[in-house]
Amino acid sequence: MELIGLVRRKAYVDSVALMRVSDQLRALPGVLSASAVMATDLNRELLADAGLLTDDAKTAAANDLVVSVRAETREAARAALERAEALLASRRAEEGPVQDAPPRSLLSAGRRSAGATVALISVPGPYAAAEAHQALSAGLHVFLFSDNVPVSEEIALKRRGAARGLLVMGPECGTSIINGVGLGFANRVRRGDIGLVGASGTGLQEVTTLIHRLGAGISHAIGTGGRDLDAAVGGLTTLQALEWLGRDVATRAIVIVSKPPSDAVAQRVLAAAVATGKPVVACLLGWKGATPAAVRAVATLEDAARGAVEAVGRTPLALVAPPPDLAPRARGTIRGLYTGGSLCEEAESIISADGHRFTDFGSGEYTRGRPHPMIDPGLRNAAVAAAGGDASVGVVLVDVVLGYGAHANPAGALASAVASARAGATRSGRTLHVVGHVVGTDDDPQRLPEQEAMLREAGVLVCPSNRLAAELARALVGAPDGS
Amino acid sequence: MAAEPALLTGRLGVVNAGVDLFADALTAQGVAVTRVDWRPPAGGDAEVSALLAHLWREEADAANREALGRLLAAQPVLVDVRPAIDVIPGMTRDTILHAGPPITWERMSGPVRGAMIGALLYERRASTAEAAERLAASGTMTLDPCHHHAAVGPMAGIITASMPVLIVENRAHGNRAYSTINEGLGRVLRYGAYAEDVIERLRWIEATLGHAVGAALRASGGIDLRALIAQALQMGDECHNRNRAASALLIKALAPHLAALDLPAAERARIFAFAGGNEHFFLNVGMAACKAATDAAHGVPHSTMVTTMARNGTDFGIRLSGLGDRWFTGPSETPVGLYFSGFSADDANPDVGDSSITETAGIGGFAMAAAPAIVQFVGGAPADALRATRLMYEITLGESDVYRLPTLDFRGTPTGIDVRLVMQTGVLPQITTGIAHRRAGIGQIGAGVVKPPMACFEAALRALAATRP
C-alpha cells in the first residue's frame, strides 16, 4: 500500500471543483482512497482521519492545495497523481451559447412569446381541459382541437373565456381562420368581407372555399366546436363570435353554419345574429324551425356561400358540374365514403332516399387510436377500393379536403383506390361511377386544380361543390341503365 | 359601437401543445409559433389532469398574484439578536424546535436525534447523552417544527430557549422571522454533534457572540438583507450552498459596529476569526430573510403557491399559501452529490434542514446560474447551471425584480413555486444542499442537489382540489 501526495502552495481551487477531482481519482484502478482539498485546519483533520495526511500536507496552510492518494501499488498512486495534475489543468471545451430548452407548459410558452394570443391545443382528450384552462389563465384565446372533453368542462371553459373576453373555439374544433391565419385544418381563402361562425369544421371549410371559388373572400371564420349549439352548451361561443363579428369593421355579412342545433339555441343564436345589424345567412343543416325574416335561411353549404357573396353585393361566379348524361346510368345504390362529417351529412340529406349508405370516416369509431382521415385517408380509400367488388354499389361518392394540416396529396392517394375499384367493377361487368368533390382553393398548399386533374384522370366525376356532387350521384342512379 | 375585438384585428401569435402538424402549418403561413414540449401530467394520470382542470381558475390566479406579490415585496432587514425564549412566538423552556415537518422521536434520523441530545446538554436539562436521550424520548418535551414558530434552522435545525436567535424583520409586512447563528463547519450541533467542544461553542455563542452581534445590529439600525442578497448573487453566491460573498458582505456591514463595542481585544478577535472563518456565516441569516418573505405570502386562500419546503431527515414536507398549516409529506431523498474524502452515498442521511426555504423564496438552487463556482453539483459546466435555473422558470409564478442573474442577462430569479405547474410539467424544484452523515455527530460529508418527492405535490394538489366548492 502506498500513500503519496503533492502540495501546491498558494494555489487556490474551489472546493467543489476539488471534490470532483477527488471523485475521479477514487474511481481509478488500484486507488484505495484519494482526496484533493485546500489545506484548511478542518480539511487537514479530515485527511488525518482518512489516513491521507502526508508529511508535506501536515505543514500546508489554508491557501495550499493538497492532493493525497492511497493506492495498492506505487504505480497506481503515481498514475493517480498525474491524473490529478491533468484534471486540475484541464478546462472544459468551450460550449456554444446555451439554447433555451423548449417551454414545458402553455403558460410558460405564453410568457416567452410576447405576441402570443392563441393557444392551439390538440393533446389527448383526458388532458385537454386542464391545458385549455391553463391557457385561459395565461390570458390566451383557445383553439381546442382535442375531442373527448366532457361537456361540463366545455361549458366551464366557455363561461370562463366569455367572462375574460377570451374566445374558446372547441373542443373538437377542426378549423378557424382568424385575420387570414388558418388554425387546425384550414384552407387558404381570399381575404374579404364575409365573416363566418361554424359549429361544423368541414362545413366551414366548404363554405369558405366556395366563397373563394365564387369570387369573394372572408374576414374571419370562427369555429366553435360541434356541440356549441347543443342545448347544454347553449351556443356560448357562437353568441360571443357573433357579437365580435358584429363589432368587426372588416365584416359586412355574416354566415352561420351548423350541424343540427337545439331548437331553443338556434332561436337565440339567430336573434343575436340579427342584432348585429349585418346581413345574415344561416345554414343550420337539418333544422326546420322558423327563421326570423331578416335571416336568409338556406339548406345547403353551397347556398350559404352563394347567399353570402350576394349579401356583400357581388355576383357569384358560376359553378359547373359534369352533366349526368355524359355518363351511363349506374345500376345499384350510392355509397358515400367521406372524410368530412358535415359534408357526409349534407350529401345524405340531399340524396334523401332509402337504400344508399353513407360513412363518415371522421367519426369517433374510425378515429380511435388513429389520425383523422383528412390527415390519413387510408381507411376511407380502402373502402373505396372495396366498393369495386360490391355488386350493390353503382356510385361511389367521395370528398377530398385540402388545406393546412391535411394530407399532402390526398387526390393522389384516392386516385389509386378509385382505379382499383373501377377495375374490379369492370372485371365483373359492372359500371361503377365515382363522383367526388375537392374542398380547397387554388392557393392551398396541395393546389386545387392539380388535385382535381388527378381525380379526373382516374375517372372521377369531379364536381365544384359537395351539393353538386350529391345531386349528380342521385341523378346517376335515378334512372335505369340506358346502355 | 364598442371597440373592435383585439383578436380579430391584431396580429396572431400562437402557442402549440399537441400535434406538431398544426404548428408546422402555422410556420408555413409565416405565423410565430411557440411549441410546448408537452407531456402528459403526472406520468399520464388522467385523474390528476382532471384535478388540474379545476385549479386553473380565476380565484387561484388572483390568490397567486396576491401571494407572489407579497413574496416579492418583502423587505427583510436583520435587526437584532435575542434569546429564543424572549422572542420566538410560543417558545418555552420545554420546547425543542427542529427542522422540517412534524416528527416523533421514534422516527427521527441520527443527526436530528444527536442535535436534540446536544441541545438538552447545552440547556443543562441532562448531564449525560443517555439522560438527554431518555428525556427527549419521554414525551415531556415539546418537539415542534421551527416553521410553526416563524423560525427556520439549517440541517437538524434545533432551537432551544437559551439560544440567541437572529431577528429578521420584514419591513414591508411587519412580520418577523428567526434563526440561530451559524456554528461553522465540522463537528457542530446542526449535524448532530454533541461533544464538549460543540456545547462549549454554543455557550460562547450565547454568552459573547450573540450579545455582540445583537448590539452591533442595534447600532447599525439594521442590515437590508434584500440588497445584500442581490449583491451576493452578482458575486457568485446562490445563497444556499455557497454563501462566501454574502458572508463577507455581512461581516463588512457588521465590522464597524463590532469594532466599536466595548469588548476585550481577545473576544473581539475571536468574534472576527469565528465569523470570518465560516463561509456559511450568512446561511442562517439568508434563511430567516426567506422565511420572513414566505411567511408574508402564506395564508392567501385558494393560492397554489408553495410557501414552505422543509426536511426533517426522514420526511420532506411542503405547505401551500392557500392551505394554512397543513403539511404534505413524502420520504426525504438522499441528495445526489460529491463527497468528502472517506465518505460515500452509503454514509449519507436522507435530506434534512429548513434551508430549502431559500429555493422556496427563489434563490438557492433556483439561482444556480449565479454561482459558476459550484456548477459541479449540477453537471460540471456553467451551461448546466444556466439550464438548471432556466428549468425552474417552468414551475414558478414570477420573477424577482431584485434578485437578478448576470449570466441570464440580469433576468430575475424564478420565484414562487406553483404546485399546478409542478404537477403539469413533472419538473421538481431543484435544491442545493449539504449532506449530513447518517450517524449523529460526524457532520457534513458532502454537498449536492436534491429534489422533493413528487408525492408531496400530488397530495397538496388533491387537497386543494378538495377545498373547492
| CATH number for position B407 | 3.90.1700.10
In which residue are the cell numbers 384535478 written? B51
Residues B78 and B162 in one domain: yes
Residues A380 and A417 in one domain: yes
What residues in B contact A254, CB-CB < 8 Å?
A: none
Residues B256 and B356 in one domain: no
CB A78 within 8 A of CB A49: no
- A70 interfacial to chain B (CB closer than 8 Å): no
Alpha-carbon gap, residue B100 to A291, rounded angstroms: 68
pLDDT digits (tens, 9 = 90+) for B99-144: 999 999 999 999 999 999 999 999 999 999 999 999 999 999 999 9
Residues 218-237 of A with CB under 8 A from B: 219-220
- The answer to whether position A96 is within a domain reads no
Residues A125 and A222 in one domain: yes
How far is C-alpha B46 from the chain's CA centre? 32
What is the domain range of residue B103? 73-286
Residues B126 and B153 in one domain: yes
For residue A193, the SS3 value is strand
Task: Work out the pLDDT band at B1, boundaries 50, 70, 90.
Answer: very low
Chain A closest CA to B46's CA: distance in Å?
6
Alpha-carbon gap, residue A306 to A309, rounded angstroms: 5
Q: Do A250 and B390 touch (CB under 8 A)?
A: no
pLDDT, mean of each 10-residue run, chain A (483 residues)? 85 75 86 88 85 89 86 90 81 51 93 92 94 97 95 97 96 95 96 96 96 98 96 97 97 94 95 97 90 94 98 95 83 94 94 92 85 92 94 96 95 95 92 96 96 96 97 81 32
> Which pLDDT does position A482 carry in this prediction?
32
> Which pLDDT does position A480 carry in this prediction?
37
What residues in B contact A179, CB-CB < 8 Å?
A: 7-12
> Which pLDDT does position A62 carry in this prediction?
77
What residues in A contact B430, CB-CB < 8 Å?
A: none
Interface test with A, best of B1, B11, B15, B302 (most A CBs within 10 A): B15
Q: Residue B197 pLDDT > 60, yes or no?
A: yes
Which candidate, A343, A378, A375, A376, places its Cα nearest to that of A359?
A343
Task: Please give the helix or strand (H or E) that residue B34 lies within, else none.
Answer: strand B33-35
Chain A closest CA to B458's CA: distance in Å?
15
Q: Do B28 and A445 touch (CB under 8 A)?
A: yes
How far is C-alpha A220 from the chain's CA centre? 18
Q: Residue B227 pLDDT > 90, yes or no?
A: yes
In which residue are the cell numbers 451559447 written? A97
Q: Do A404 and B29 touch (CB under 8 A)?
A: yes
Residues B258 and B319 in one domain: no
- The answer to whether position B12 is within a domain reads no
Q: How many domains does chain A have?
A: 3
Alpha-carbon gap, residue B3 to B102, rounded angstroms: 56
- A119 interfacial to chain B (CB closer than 8 Å): yes
Residues A275 and A328 in one domain: no
Residues A266 and A296 in one domain: yes
Give B145-211 as a DSSP string: EGGGGTB--STT--B-TTSEEEEEEETTT--EEEEE----SSS-GGGT--SHHHHHHHHHIIIIIHH
Q: Do A109 and B32 touch (CB under 8 A)?
A: no
Q: Do A109 and B374 touch (CB under 8 A)?
A: no
Alpha-carbon gap, residue A470 to A481, rounded angstroms: 19
- The answer to whether position B43 is within a domain reads no
Residue of A119, A120, A178 with shortest CB distance to B8: A178
Alpha-carbon gap, residue B383 to B388, rounded angstroms: 9
Residues B412 and B269 in one domain: no
Q: Which of residues B268 and A16 earns the better pLDDT score?
A: B268
- Pairing assessment for the beta strands A357-360 and A393-401 based on DSSP bridges: unpaired
Task: Please give the helix or strand (H or E) that residue A219 lies within, else none.
Answer: strand A218-223
Residue of A47, A92, A127 with shortest CB distance to B49: A127
Residues B309 and B244 in one domain: no
Half-sphere CA count of A438, side-chain side, radius 13 A:
29
Residue B324: CB atoms within 10 A of its CB come to 10
Give pTM, 2 decimals: 0.88
| CATH number for position A57 | 3.30.1360
- The answer to whether position A419 is within a domain reads yes
What residues in B contact A247, CB-CB < 8 Å?
A: 1-5
What residues in A contact B383, CB-CB < 8 Å?
A: 95, 98
Residues B307 and B404 in one domain: yes
- The answer to whether position A98 is within a domain reads no
Residue of B61, B338, B394 with shortest CB distance to A105: B394
CA angle A261, A265, A269 (to 5 degrees): 100
Residue B294: CB atoms within 10 A of its CB come to 29
Q: Which of residues B56 and A91 earns the better pLDDT score?
A: B56
Chain A closest CA to B238's CA: distance in Å?
14
Residues B375 and B426 in one domain: yes
Residues A110 and A65 in one domain: no
Give A422-464 as a DSSP string: HHHHHHTT---EEEEEEE--TTSTT-HHHHHHHHHHTT-EEES
Residues B331 and B261 in one domain: no
Cell of B400: 424577482
What residues in A contact B40, CB-CB < 8 Å?
A: 123-124, 127
Q: How many domains does chain B have?
A: 2
Which candidate, B426, B459, B35, B50, places its Cα nearest to that of A130?
B50
| CATH number for position A333 | 3.40.50.261
Beta bridge partners of A182: A177
Residues A53 and A146 in one domain: no
Give B304-355 as a DSSP string: -BEEEEEEESSEEEEEEGGGTT--EEEEPPPPEEEE-TT--GGGBPPPEEST
CB B143 within 8 A of CB B104: yes
The complex's ipTM works out to 0.92
What residues in A contact B38, CB-CB < 8 Å?
A: 104-105, 123, 131
- A149 interfacial to chain B (CB closer than 8 Å): no
Cell of B347: 454514509
Chain B closest CA to A126's CA: distance in Å?
6
Q: What is the DSSP letter of A480?
A: -
Chain B closest CA to A64's CA: distance in Å?
16
Crossing angle of helices B129-137/B110-122, nearest 10°?
110
What residues in A contact B3, CB-CB < 8 Å?
A: 247
Among A60, A89, A118, residue at a domain's last position: A89
What residues in A contact B426, CB-CB < 8 Å?
A: 104
Residues A252 and A381 in one domain: no
Residues 324-383 of A with CB under 8 A from B: 375
Interface test with B, best of A70, A131, A240 (most B CBs within 10 A): A131
Q: Do B38 and A220 touch (CB under 8 A)?
A: no
Q: Do B28 and A404 touch (CB under 8 A)?
A: yes
Q: Do B19 and A145 touch (CB under 8 A)?
A: yes
- The answer to whether position A198 is within a domain reads yes
What residues in B contact A153, CB-CB < 8 Å?
A: 53
Residue of B19, B49, B341 with shortest CB distance to A47: B341
Q: Do B4 and A249 touch (CB under 8 A)?
A: yes
- The answer to whether position B366 is within a domain reads yes
Look up residue B44 and give its amino acid. G
Chain B closest CA to A294's CA: distance in Å?
21
Task: Please give the helix or strand (H or E) that residue A470 lies within, else none.
Answer: helix A466-478
Alpha-carbon gap, residue A451 to A415, rounded angstroms: 10
Chain B closest CA to A392's CA: distance in Å?
39
Among B233, B263, B286, residue at a domain's last position: B286
Q: Do A404 and B25 touch (CB under 8 A)?
A: yes
Residues A127 and A186 in one domain: yes
> Which pLDDT does position A26 carry in this prediction?
86
| CATH number for position B222 | 3.90.1710.10
CB A36 within 8 A of CB A54: no
pLDDT digits (tens, 9 = 90+) for B366-398: 999 999 888 887 777 888 899 999 999 999 999
- The answer to whether position A228 is within a domain reads yes
- A151 interfacial to chain B (CB closer than 8 Å): no
How far is C-alpha B37 from the chain's CA centre? 29
Among B259, B286, B313, residue at a domain's last position: B286
CA distances from A63 to A11, A16, B87 (A): 6, 15, 41
> Which pLDDT does position A85 carry in this prediction?
83
What is the domain range of residue A58? 2-89
> Which pLDDT does position B2 carry in this prediction?
62
Alpha-carbon gap, residue B355 to B153, rounded angstroms: 7
